[in-house]
Structure 1
């Protein structure tokens, strides 16, 4: 899939090194429970690719059209952990720091929404993040997603002692 400035594609072997660097960057991973090792990052790419094969969609690698640089991912992922709103398809993103502030997350997420409600035939999407993650929350709001504070939850995959356990949930329905 393409946007004006981005190419959204399946993952390539050469994406693994810059992705591992992103996952080891404390600023990129500020709202996640832990940094990832190279092995953990590579295993995540393997799981992402398996989900494409299983569902026909997933977390697309993002490439800046003009430069050809890999900058992260944006896409769709089934969430099946135990929560009152699951199973659900989440729209999510993670970008390298140099890609922040250029509108890439919103641009790619709009294309992922179009795909979700078009080719994938989904009726609704969710997005979630730690309460403190104002940058991701702003992307969710730019997409037209809405939040009901009654839907906020403690993420079961985040350790109880973590200050990141409390999450906000945003929703978007196909019109």
Structure 2
């Protein structure tokens, strides 16, 4: 593929967002199965705003939740990357690593491979000292990825942005230092 990637892993290319990604990311974020650990699916408008926020964050910091493609085919599969978090809690401001992939690409090791590549980029290129990750306590697939990439559980907490959603507010914080 002739796309320009910020960095790559063995199978994945990490790039900034394009306008054409809104429809593809909306397909993922509007899927109830993909969003089962979140209070709701996301609208097309929300997805467009999310992508704009990621573009702005990349322009400001050199990182974001990157659009991710399979190198061999150029097929868009979702996002993996890091994002500034500033909501009110004792561990913020922080840089959070996260992922959201189309369900057809679950169970293939892409989240783990991509997260490891992101950590390498964040620690070795951008020289960050610490990355965190947050998930609901029930999100065992994401917690499994956190463990596989070497993160350590710091604590359980009540997420301040999820207080209106009791079934989602109990979360875990994982951390990795460079």
TM-score when normalising by structure 2: 0.93
* Match of residue 155 from structure 1: 159
User: 1:111 — aligned with what?
Assistant: 117
Measured in 2, the distance between the counterparts of 1:108 and 1:145 equals: 14
**Secondary structure, aligned partner of 2:8:** coil
Q: Does 1:36 align with 2:42?
A: yes
CA distance in 2, matches of 1:50, 1:33: 25
Aligned counterpart for 2:171 among listed residues 161, 167, 171: 167
Deviation at 1:55, TM superposition (A): 1.1
Unaligned runs of 5+ in 2: 1-6
What is the CA RMSD across the aligned residues, in angstroms?
Answer: 1.0
- Which residue is 2:151 aligned to? 145
Structure 1-normalised TM-score?
A: 0.95
Structure 1: stretches of 5+ with no match in the other structure:
none
Alignment partner for residue 25 of structure 1, among 12, 23, 31?
Answer: 31
1:32-78 per-residue CA deviation (whole Å, 9 max, x = no partner) reads 11111111111111111111111111111000111211000011111
Which residue number in structure 1 is paired with residue 21 of structure 2? 15
Please list, as runs of the form range in 1=range in 2, the aligned pairs for 1:90-105 lying within 5 A after superposition. Answer: 90-105=96-111
For residues 47 and 39 of structure 2, the distance between their equivalents in structure 1, rounded to whole angstroms, comes to 14
